[in-house]
Amino acid sequence: MGFSIHWSWLAALLCAFWMGAGVRCACPESNLQMQGGNYTLSNNLERGSMLVYHCPEGYYPYPAITRLCQANNSWRPRPKRFPAQRCRLIECPDPNVLEYGNVSPPQEKYYVDNETTYECYSGYTMRGSATRVCLKNGKWSGSTPICSRDSGDHCANPGIPPGASRVGNMFGIDDTVRYTCNGNLFLVGSSERVCQENSQWSGNEPACYYKHTFDTPLEVSKAFGNSIKESLTTLESTDDIQGERKIRISKNGTLNIYIGVDISDSISEDYVNKSRDAVVKLITTISSFTVTPNYEITFFSSELYEIVNIIDFMDGTAKLSDVKTKLEEFAVGDRNTGTNLNLVFEQFLEKMALIKIRAGEENFKEHRHVIIVFTDGAYNMGGSPAPTVAKIKNSAYLNLADGSRDDYLDIYIFAIGDDIFDDDLMPLTAGTGGNHYFRVKDLEKLQETFDEMIDEDEVKGLCGLHKEYEDHRNELKRKMYPWMAFISTQADGHSKKCMGSLVTPEFVLTAAHCVYGFLPEKVTVEIDDGQHKIKKAKTLFYHPKYNVTAKKDKGINEFYDYDVALIQLEKYVDISTKVRPICIPCTLETNAALHLVDQSCQSQERLLLKNHLERLNFLTRTSNVVDLKDVHAKLGDNRYECIKHAVGVEGITADTLRDAVTDNFICTGGLQPFRDHIACTGDSGGAVYKNFEHRTIQVALVSWGSQQVCRDGGVKESKSNSRDFHINLFKVVDFLKAVLGKQDMDYAPLEFLEN
């Protein structure tokens, strides 16, 4: 009770403070308290203020989740004495709906952590989970258990999800089953499913949700990811093997993505910020596919706040990086109270009509549309969006209602906020292939799991694709740097260690000085692809101009120009999230990764090494497997100041400096303008790279340094006069192309650009 008195006093004080004189509040504060929990107010007890109840984990607020202070100074819903506002235990829907089997223990209600087991009657076999646990999000773990007998039906028994009832017990072609949810549960998914010719049920499995049921971030991004990937990969260029040759098939369609984010005051600022961040993450994730969609992105309340116009994308005047900046800078200002959900759909409909005019009727047929709306559905003006959504469907389906164009439109609703209007929102979804309605609570986690979307077979071939984690645990290192390779050579009983990078499933790029003079049998490459950690080398290729003694006559004792080598492995590595090639300059794939329209090598170099100071990275071995070194390439006017520190090394003089440090080297290190890291012994041969969105592009490789600052790896800072010299891969493309791009070899060639 002490707390509630304190709270009253605090609220009263805030009212007085805000209203200037006297203790006058718009809405009364009596009977607002909740047993077992507390509440927050978005604007004290003022009109328009939103009250949100909070309960400890495993509980939910009952009967009200939120209250709104209305214009006539009363709460909606009005606080009542009975039933008293309190925190209730989260429950899971009733699993005792299993046919032809037993559920134990039988209970009236099932709460978080309660476990159930399922057994089929004799003669019946089980599909699904035999044991399920009630989870904190109000769902059962695992999948629906189904007991069935082989009856020769065309479709398998679709079962009954917990909390549901099914009408329809015939599973032949065209037979229909219908689901409803019992009690105060509501249905998410397909309420009606038809047994199709291919023996599959149409739609997706329904589930019964309470108001307190949520989808976990992983569930959302898996389901959403699988579905949106359909749209992306149907448009993504693919490789086709015809005879011996690999043919690249590019698809002609266009993908238009429309995103709306609700910022009305029923959604807390925190939710708005997180939805905004989720949108940034989402478009970044999508950009790692080779498809380049057009975006319309808008925030909305009673009016629209457009971030990017899709027409600008079509015209090529909008850039994805600018969109991200604009999104990141978007802050919720003074919000007006209305929510017009219809307005955002009207905007999307209008944009579709404009696209149709621009593209022409014929081309418009090849346009696919994906609409994603983050909202709680609490609209109070503009009316229901349902009629507008019907028009959007007609437009995308070209007025064909036969389902033949269902693939051309997906509408996803990410239901957010504290109090969601499911009944209004669920009918707005559209599209095939899995759930399109998600109840999201943890938006922050959701962003992280968007990464999981790009984890599938169809993106296997994409160079440089990797995961970015905030937390750098050792077991995640291979996923962060899937191209990394460790190289060792054996001679006279001692071994030498270097780094390398996987550039195709069969080739590892490293420094020539790491392997020069060794027989392939003495060279091993460590890449843990889950099969064999150690790979044997089959053939070694060196740059034909590599010759350490070439400039001895000029007094340069060791000359490292063209310090590149390729190691052909005996066996292909298995490509996965943990093992994947890095992108290298001047290939077609790198062009796609950089989203360059212009197919030229120079454009890649201009984009990657454009500034006089370019931030680059390379890896070093440490007890954490590897760690990252940050360096800045000194280019243009900065270059001389950097390379001059090579004077004095191995007979290099001011006169022979340009002979020793040719234009093929990129110089890093020193303290100005940033304190760089410095290479250690053992870092040689490693990729010096740059990340672009989700892709990694190698621009150079570690060759030599002006000083030996450290031995055996480790993250070390540069001294004022220590410098590193890396072979610029743009200068050795001929060599890379001669080996990796060679046609009619026993390995699949990389496609290099003409110029």
Ligand X SMILES: *[C@@H]1O[C@H](CO)[C@@H](O)[C@H](O)[C@H]1NC(C)=O
Asked if 37 touches ligand X (CB under 6 A), the answer is yes
Distance (Å, whole) CA 149 – CA 99: 11
Asked if 106 touches ligand X (CB under 6 A), the answer is no
- Of the listed 94, 419, 424, 563, which one is catalytic? 563
Asked if 662 touches ligand X (CB under 6 A), the answer is no
Asked if 70 touches ligand X (CB under 6 A), the answer is yes
Asked if 656 touches ligand X (CB under 6 A), the answer is no
The radius of gyration of the chain's CA atoms, rounded to the nearest angstrom, is 31
Minimum CB distance to ligand X, residue 518 (Å): 15
Q: With contacts defined by CB under 6 A, name the span among 160-168, 268-276, 387-395, 600-608 that binds ligand X.
A: 268-276
Q: Looking at beta carbons only, is 2 or 83 nearer to ligand X? A: 2
Residues 6+ apart with CB under 8 A from 641: 634
Q: Looking at beta carbons only, is 196 or 656 nearer to ligand X? A: 656
Nearest to 680 by CA among 716, 645, 648: 716
Q: Looking at beta carbons only, is 546 or 689 nearer to ligand X? A: 546
Q: Looking at beta carbons only, is 78 or 473 nearer to ligand X? A: 78
Q: With contacts defined by CB under 6 A, name the span among 111-119, 204-212, 214-222, 711-719 that binds ligand X.
A: 111-119
Angle in degrees, 0-180, between the axes of helices 341-364 and 386-396, rounded to the nearest 10: 10
Minimum CB distance to ligand X, residue 346 (Å): 26
How many Cα atoms sit within 13 Å of 103 on the Cβ side? 21
Q: Looking at beta carbons only, is 152 or 360 nearer to ligand X? A: 360
CA angle 709/713/719 to nearest 5° reads: 25
Which of 1, 21, 72, 106 touches ligand X (CB under 6 A)? 72
In 556-694, the DSSP E strands lie at: 565-569, 613-622, 625-634, 665-669, 677-678, 687-692
Q: Looking at beta carbons only, is 26 or 502 nearer to ligand X? A: 26
How far from 266 is each of 60, 421, 594, 605, 740, CA to CA, in Å?
A: 19, 12, 40, 49, 58
182-241: which residues touch ligand X (CB under 6 A)? none
Q: Which amino acid is at 403?
A: G
Q: With contacts defined by CB under 6 A, name the span among 137-145, 192-200, 267-275, 428-436 that binds ligand X.
A: 267-275
How far from 694 is each of 235, 281, 670, CA to CA, in Å?
A: 19, 11, 29
Residues 6+ apart with CB under 8 A from 242: none
Distance (Å, whole) CA 359 – CA 137: 45
Asked if 105 touches ligand X (CB under 6 A), the answer is yes
Two structure tokens written together for 498:
């270097």
Q: Do 578 and 523 contact (CB within 8 A), yes or no?
A: no
Distance (Å, whole) CA 289 – CA 293: 10
Nearest to 371 by CA among 203, 215, 255: 255
Which of 8, 74, 129, 488 touches ligand X (CB under 6 A)? 74
Which of 127, 136, 154, 251 touches ligand X (CB under 6 A)? 251
Which of 241, 331, 597, 654 touches ligand X (CB under 6 A)? 331
Q: With contacts defined by CB under 6 A, name the span among 106-114, 563-571, 639-647, 660-668 that binds ligand X.
A: 106-114
Which of 151, 252, 399, 755 touches ligand X (CB under 6 A)? 252
Which of 550, 588, 607, 657 touches ligand X (CB under 6 A)? 550
- Specify the long-range contacts of residues 302-309, CB closer than 8 Å, at least 24 apart: 302/264, 302/336, 302/337, 302/338, 302/339, 302/340, 302/343, 302/381, 303/336, 303/340, 303/343, 304/343, 304/344, 304/347, 305/263, 305/330, 306/347, 309/351
**What three-state secondary structure class fits 378?**
coil
Asked if 734 touches ligand X (CB under 6 A), the answer is no
Query: If binding means CB under 6 A, how many residues of this protein chain bind ligand X?
Result: 22
Distance (Å, whole) CA 49 – CA 43: 5
Distance (Å, whole) CA 226 – CA 749: 30
113-142: which residues touch ligand X (CB under 6 A)? 113-114
Q: Looking at beta carbons only, is 549 or 721 nearer to ligand X? A: 549
625: left (phi > 0), else alpha (psi -120 to 50), else beta? left
Residues 6+ apart with CB under 8 A from 107: 114
Which of 239, 269, 458, 598 touches ligand X (CB under 6 A)? 269
Strands 665-669 and 723-728: antiparallel
Q: With contacts defined by CB under 6 A, name the span among 109-117, 390-398, 419-427, 526-534 that binds ligand X.
A: 109-117
- Of the listed 513, 632, 677, 726, which one is catalytic? 513
Minimum CB distance to ligand X, residue 55 (Å): 6
- Of the listed 221, 275, 288, 684, which one is catalytic? 684
**Cα end-to-end span (Å), the chain:** 78
H helices, E strands: number in the chain: 16, 40
Q: With contacts defined by CB under 6 A, name the span among 266-274, 312-320, 697-705, 721-729 that binds ligand X.
A: 266-274
Q: Looking at beta carbons only, is 38 or 617 nearer to ligand X? A: 38
The residues that bridge with 249 in the sheet, in sequence order, are 238
Q: Is 612 a catalytic residue?
A: no
Q: With contacts defined by CB under 6 A, name the span among 170-178, 259-267, 469-477, 545-553 that binds ligand X.
A: 545-553
Which of 180, 273, 302, 557 touches ligand X (CB under 6 A)? 273
Q: What are phi and psi of 158, to 5 degrees?
A: -80, -5
Asked if 547 touches ligand X (CB under 6 A), the answer is yes
Q: Do 266 and 339 contact (CB within 8 A), yes or no?
A: yes
Q: Looking at beta carbons only, is 490 or 547 nearer to ligand X? A: 547
Q: Is 684 a catalytic residue?
A: yes
42-61: which residues touch ligand X (CB under 6 A)? 54-56
Q: Do 642 and 667 contact (CB within 8 A), yes or no?
A: yes
Which of 104, 549, 599, 653 touches ligand X (CB under 6 A)? 549
Distance (Å, whole) CA 593 – CA 287: 9
Q: What are phi and psi of 674, to 5 degrees?
A: -130, 150
Q: Is 270 a catalytic residue?
A: no
Per-residue interface string for the shown chain with ligand X, residues 83-102, x marking contact by CB under 6 A: ------x-------------
Nearest to 685 by CA among 516, 422, 546, 487: 487
Minimum CB distance to ligand X, residue 3 (Å): 7
Q: Looking at beta carbons only, is 37 or 48 nearer to ligand X? A: 37
Q: Looking at beta carbons only, is 37 or 555 nearer to ligand X? A: 37
Q: Looking at beta carbons only, is 235 or 619 nearer to ligand X? A: 235
Asked if 603 touches ligand X (CB under 6 A), the answer is no
Which of 6, 80, 131, 270 touches ligand X (CB under 6 A)? 270
501-530: which residues touch ligand X (CB under 6 A)? none
Interacting residues with ligand X (CB under 6 A): 37-38, 54-56, 70, 72, 74, 89, 105, 111, 113-114, 251-252, 269-270, 273, 331, 547, 549-550
Point out the residues that are catalytic.
513, 563, 684
